[in-house]
Homo-oligomer: A and B are copies of this chain.
Amino acid sequence: MRRIRIIVEYEGTNYVGWQQQPNGVSVQELLQNALFELTGERLCVHGSGRTDSGVHARAQVAHFDCEARMPADKFAIAMNTHLPADVRVLYSDEADESFHSRFTPKLKCYRYTVRLGAHADVFSRSTALHVHRPLSFEAMQCAACDLVGRHDFRAFMSAGVTMENTVRTVSRCGWVRDGQLLHLYIAADGFLYNMVRIAAGTLIEIGGGRLPVDTIKKAIESHDRADAGATAPAHGLMLYSVRYEGGFDTEEALNGVI
């Protein structure tokens, strides 16, 4: 058996998310079906983590174990012939048995995108949240800094979810402006359920003047979900990059490929 590692890009609009579900088509299922077509083997594809329905990925990392003798780097092209146009395998290689897309310690980066403007933009409608009111970039940038560090992020987890350890380390959090698009990049050693969408939603409310600029700081201190803002919609969110302990980094792997 060999362990094949892949980087997958997808637009989440048409899917129930990464993980197989009874109520619709998942990205995981599409990849497993493509591998069955290719190898005749019923394989399980393990992702670096789930993404929710409507959430996109620029670089989701996954792996599977198989017996097929195809050169490892050919899996990407071969799998793509059995995948719809909104899911692409961008890269494939052979990984060490000790590598596990989910359990090997890693740094993940998500991006949340807002599109400003009087009218919703046609071309970014599936990948950006349209906000028609003006936002204070400075207030949002200032408040984003408060997320950086090792904190108990319980206030930024959907109510009703139980999780023992809610401490995470955010190593980077900041907005980048690109014309009418505002991108929030947030990197951490792990994320709680809906953490990025609650952080983005809170920052957008701060930018619009609906919440004070110290809201993030106070919610981190209080651990109370009610002190943070609303959960931003799924379609603005994208799993942007993943870097593993031991060296595998989607940015390096994709360099020259995409």
Contact = CB atoms under 8 A, between A and B. Distances in A.
Interface of A: 9-11, 56, 58, 76-77, 80, 85-90, 117-123, 125, 127, 180, 257-258
Contact of A125 (B86, B117, B120): B86
Contacts of A56: 122-123
B257 A117 contact: yes
A130 to B, nearest CB: 10
Contacts of A127: 123
A123 B127 CA distance: 9
16 contacts: A9-B119, A10-B122, A58-B123, A76-B118, A76-B119, A80-B120, A85-B120, A86-B122, A88-B122, A89-B119, A90-B118, A90-B119, A117-B258, A118-B257, A119-B257, A119-B258
Nearest to A90: B119
A158 to B, nearest CB: 27
A122 B258 contact: no
A122 B87 contact: yes
Most buried by B among A90, A123, A127, A180: A123
Nearest to A86: B122
Q: How many copies of this chain are found per oligomer?
A: 2
Contacts of A77: 119
A253 to B, nearest CB: 12
Nearest to A257: B118
A194 to B, nearest CB: 23
Given A77-B119, A117-B257, 10 more contacts: A58-B123, A76-B118, A80-B119, A85-B125, A86-B122, A87-B122, A90-B119, A119-B258, A121-B258, A180-B258
A214 to B, nearest CB: 31
Nearest to A118: B257
A180 B88 CA distance: 16
Contacts of A85: 120, 122, 125
A119 B88 contact: yes
B122 A11 contact: yes
Contacts of A258: 117-119, 121, 180
A77 B180 CA distance: 19
B9 A121 contact: yes
A123 B88 CA distance: 10
